[in-house]
Each structure stands twice: as C-alpha cells, then as structure tokens.
Amino acid sequence: MKPSRESRSLIFLTVVSAILLTLLPAPEVLVPFKPYWVALVVVYWSLETHDVISMGLAFLIGLVLDALSGSLMGLHALSLIVMVFLVQRFRSRLRFFPPWQQALSVLALLVNDRIILIWIAVLLGEPLPTWKHWLPPLVGMALWPWLFLFLDRIRARMRRRKP
C-alpha cells in the first residue's frame, strides 16, 4: 500500500518540526536533558510506515541536521541510518509492544546512538563526554509513550479527513 500525499506531507512536517526542536536553543541547565527529537520522530515513522523512511531518507535527514547544527558532516546521518536499520530489522517485533514497553527499545536505540557518537569522538581524538552525555536517551525514553500517542492521534485525524 502506497502512502498517500497527506501522510507524506505529515511525515515531512513532523521531521521538520523535530529538526526545529533539536536546533531550538535551550538554557544551559536544560541542554543535557534535551532529547534527540529527530531520532524519536524517525523511529516512530519507521515503525508505523513500512517503506517510507528508508535508510537513504534517514541519511538525507541526518545530513540536513548536520548542516544546520554545524556538526561533523555525516555524524547524524550515520546514527540515523543505524537507527532505521535496527528498527526495520526488528519492526515486526517492536510493533507488538505497547508504547510504554516500546520505550525500552527506544532507550536501547538512543543509547546505541550515544555509543556511535562516543566512537566517532574517540576517532577524532576528542575528549570523552561526561555522564551528562547519557541523559538525553533517558529523557527520550520517558517522552516516547507520549510522543507515540501524540503522533498516532495526528495520523488518525489525517486518515479520517481523507475523502
């Protein structure tokens, strides 16, 4: 089943919103608690739509995020490709869990992302991050059920509007 133009526009809108939330400046105290919004939205759409979020699209989203955030080119692209690959690989299993149990899987994905970031930092000769580096995956796990239900509700409204 091909996704409709409305669902593609909804995916585009949510990914752009996630990029904007990621780039939104936060007070210095809250920066360690800032979740990886783009990853959460990409994981949601990878779970809910079968072939719309491909590894190529994840790569492009990551490159856009790299360019806009001024990070090492390909850093977010690599982490999103790995994330989408893992979600696609275990999609049939993950979809059976309720959102609060999926949150543990999302935690594993976000921790994997952090490990990739540390690996790249070591390759570049940068100092290892502090313990605060591990807070965003915990915040992402806590937000997952709510984000999942929010995006699911938006999707349901879009389907009801379809003629």
Q: What is the pLDDT of residue 161?
A: 74
Determine the average pLDDT of the residues in 54-77.
95
- pLDDT-based confidence at residue 6 (cuts at 50, 70, 90): low
Domain range annotation of the chain:
5-161
On whether the CB atoms of residues 132 and 32 are closer than 8 A, the answer is yes
* Residues listed for the chain: 163
Supply 61's token pair: 């989203």
Give Cα 79 to chain centroid, integer Å: 10
On whether the CB atoms of residues 100 and 145 are closer than 8 A, the answer is yes
Distance (Å, rounded) from C-alpha 120 to C-alpha 126?
9
What is the residue-averaged pLDDT of the chain? 92
**CATH class, range 5-161:** mainly alpha
What's the pTM? 0.92
